[in-house]
Amino acid sequence: MKLHLPLLFLGLSLLVMPVAAQDLSTVANQKPFAISGALDVRAIGYQSKGIPARRSPFSWIISGSPTVSVYGISIPISFMFTEQERSFSQPFNQFGLSPTYKWITVHGGYRNVSFSPYTLAGHTMLGAGVELNPGKFRFGLMSGRLNRATTVDTTTGVLRPQSFSRFGTAVKAGYGTERNYFDISFLQAKDREKDFGINPDSARLRPAANSVLGTGFKISFLKNFQVFGDGGLSLYTRDSGSDLEVEIDSSQKFLRSISKILKVNSTTEYYTAYNAGAGYTSKHFSLKLIYKYVDPNFQSMGAYFFQDDLSNLTINPSFNALNGKLRFTGSFGIQKDNVKKQKNATTSRLIGLANLSWDLTDRLGLDANYANFTTNAEPTVAIVNNRYLLAQTNSNVSVTPRLIVPGKATTQVVILSYNLSSLKDLSKDTLQAANILSQILFLNHSLTLNSLGATISSGLNYTSNKFAANQVKNYSVSLGFSKAFLKNKLTFSSNNSFIITKPLQGGGKIWNVGANVSYRLAQTHRLALRVNALNNSLTYSDNEPVHYSELTGELGYTYNF
State residue 89's pLDDT score. Answer: 39
Output the CA torsion 265→215→119→290 (10° steps): -110
pLDDT(189) > 80: yes
Q: Give the C-alpha separation, 273 to 210, whole Å.
A: 15
State residue 344's pLDDT score. Answer: 82
pLDDT(53) > 70: yes
State residue 427's pLDDT score. Answer: 58
Beta strand spans in 37-136 (E): 38-49, 58-64, 67-70, 73-82, 94-97, 100-101, 104-114, 121-132
pLDDT(455) > 80: yes
pLDDT(92) > 80: no
Model confidence at 467, pLDDT cuts 50, 70, 90, reads confident
Average pLDDT for 420-446: 78
Q: What is the largest CA-CA distance in the chain?
A: 83
Tell me the CB-side half-sphere exposure of residue 186, using CA atoms within 13 A. 11
Q: Which domain holds residue 262?
A: 1-23+102-308
Average pLDDT for 226-252: 84
Average pLDDT for 449-457: 93
Most trustworthy range by pLDDT among 82-86, 96-100, 161-165: 96-100
Lowest mean pLDDT among 46-50, 128-132, 246-250, 480-484: 246-250
- Is pTM beyond 0.85 here? no
pLDDT(353) > 80: yes
State residue 469's pLDDT score. Answer: 73
Q: Give the C-alpha separation, 223 to 20, whole Å.
A: 36
322 in a domain, yes or no?
Answer: no
Output the CA torsion 275→280→286→287 (10° steps): -50
52 in a domain, yes or no?
Answer: no
Lowest mean pLDDT among 105-109, 172-176, 202-206, 394-398: 202-206
Is residue 33 within 8 Å of 241, Cβ to Cβ?
Answer: no
Average pLDDT for 127-145: 95
Average pLDDT for 364-379: 82
- For residue 442, how many other CB atoms are within 10 A of its CB? 17
pLDDT(146) > 70: yes
Model confidence at 431, pLDDT cuts 50, 70, 90, reads low
Taking alpha carbons only, the member of 92, 74, 75, 71 closest to residue 83 is: 92
State residue 49's pLDDT score. Answer: 94
CB neighbour class for 453 (10 Å; exposed up to 12, middle 13-18, buried from 19): middle
272 in a domain, yes or no?
Answer: yes
95 in a domain, yes or no?
Answer: no
158 in a domain, yes or no?
Answer: yes
Q: Give the C-alpha separation, 321 to 510, whole Å.
A: 46
Find the helix or strand (DSSP H, E) in which 346 lies: strand 345-359
264 in a domain, yes or no?
Answer: yes
Average pLDDT for 49-74: 85
CA dihedral for 104, 108, 111, 116, sign (positive or negative): positive
Q: Please indicate whether residue 78 or residue 159 has the higher confidence score (pLDDT).
A: 78
507 in a domain, yes or no?
Answer: no
Domain total of the chain = 1
Q: Give the C-alpha separation, 370 to 350, whole Å.
A: 14
pLDDT in tens, 18-38: 333 334 345 556 778 888 889
**Is 7 in a helix, a strand, or coil?**
helix
Model confidence at 173, pLDDT cuts 50, 70, 90, reads very high
Lowest mean pLDDT among 292-296, 471-475, 542-546: 542-546
pLDDT in tens, 245-264: 776 665 567 777 887 788 88
Q: How far is CA 322 from CA 87, 119, 326, 330, 354, in A?
A: 58, 43, 6, 18, 19
Model confidence at 11, pLDDT cuts 50, 70, 90, reads very low
473 in a domain, yes or no?
Answer: no
Average pLDDT for 529-538: 95
Most trustworthy range by pLDDT among 14-18, 63-67, 509-513: 509-513
Beta partners for 206? none
Most trustworthy range by pLDDT among 32-36, 205-209, 267-271, 324-328: 324-328
Find the helix or strand (DSSP H, E) in which 400 lies: strand 390-405
Q: Please indicate whether residue 515 or residue 33 has the higher confidence score (pLDDT).
A: 515
pLDDT(348) > 70: yes
Taking alpha carbons only, the member of 456, 466, 477, 474 closest to residue 411 is: 456
State residue 430's pLDDT score. Answer: 53
Q: Please indicate whether residue 54 or residue 316 has the higher confidence score (pLDDT).
A: 316
Average pLDDT for 331-338: 92
State residue 432's pLDDT score. Answer: 56
Model confidence at 478, pLDDT cuts 50, 70, 90, reads very high
